[in-house]
Amino acid sequence: MGRPLLRQRPVRGRGAWDNTARVWEVDSKRLIYTFPAHVSDTWAVAFSPDGQLIASGGGDHKVKVWDMATGILVQDVSGELHTGEVENIAFSPDGKTLASVSRDGTLRTWNLPGTTERISAYVKQGMSEWSKQGEFEKSDEYQKRQERKDRQLADLTRGCQEKIVNSYGNTANWQPFTIAQYNADSESFTLHSRLFGDKMRLHVPPREAERVRANFSQMRYGNPTFDIDDDQVILKNVSVLIPVDGTTKTFTIGR
């Protein structure tokens, strides 16, 4: 498994008796988020496997999911589904499902919002001001406002996409990779990642393939680039440094 070259920002979250969920940066011990999670004590907090979502369960019987990239609420599960305090929550390994355990004696599972839903929640919050117009409005004023609204909508969507992609670059949770077979035709190794499956390739000339495999555990990553495709954040490529024959060589992981 490779080691990160880029600076990571490990974080830790916990619930509080003041009804909030809080997230700290581990190294600096700096508080970076305070989520007004519940109307009663916050009993449980958990991060998604990719570090992009944080979920909380509370004494108000509710489960809430927050977006770490934008800081907004993206899912609020009604307290009517649990009739007791939510004591524990956990994400599935693929990050698509959340499980909650309550003092009412039940365990429930929830489908989590994908990237498209996260963007929609951000845009909806940003566009809420447009619903506060007066009852009467001249037609030319309405047309101008609609044009501004369309531009604002596009700007918010693009801005949220950038926040999500940048957030992925700042977390170590998309790592690591494990190396599989070498394909001489494509001159690349197939890599496996818990989050990205078997879609990534490490491009290596045939003459260096065996030495790269032998030193793969000493690999370091740098300069990852991400994109959003089909409701998912995908890793486009990342440079890697691997020691080969006494020197450090740079290779590329891509699709």
Q: What residue spans define the domains of the chain?
A: 10-113, 124-169, 177-254
Q: Between the CA of residue 161 and those of 38, 147, 155, 198, what are the distances in Å?
A: 27, 22, 10, 24
Instruction: Check whether 4 has a pLDDT greater than 70.
Output: no
Predicted local distance difference test score (pLDDT) of residue 171:
61
Q: Which pTM does this prediction carry?
A: 0.69
171-185 as b/e: b if 16+ CB within 10 A: bebbbbbebeebeee
Predicted local distance difference test score (pLDDT) of residue 52:
85
Per the CB < 8 A criterion, the answer to whether 52 and 164 are in contact is yes
Q: What is the CATH number of domain 10-113?
A: 2.130.10.10
Condensed to tens digits (0 to 9), the pLDDT of residues 67-116 reads 888 888 888 876 667 888 888 889 998 888 999 989 988 898 989 888 88
pLDDT band at 37 (very low <50, low <70, confident <90, very high): low
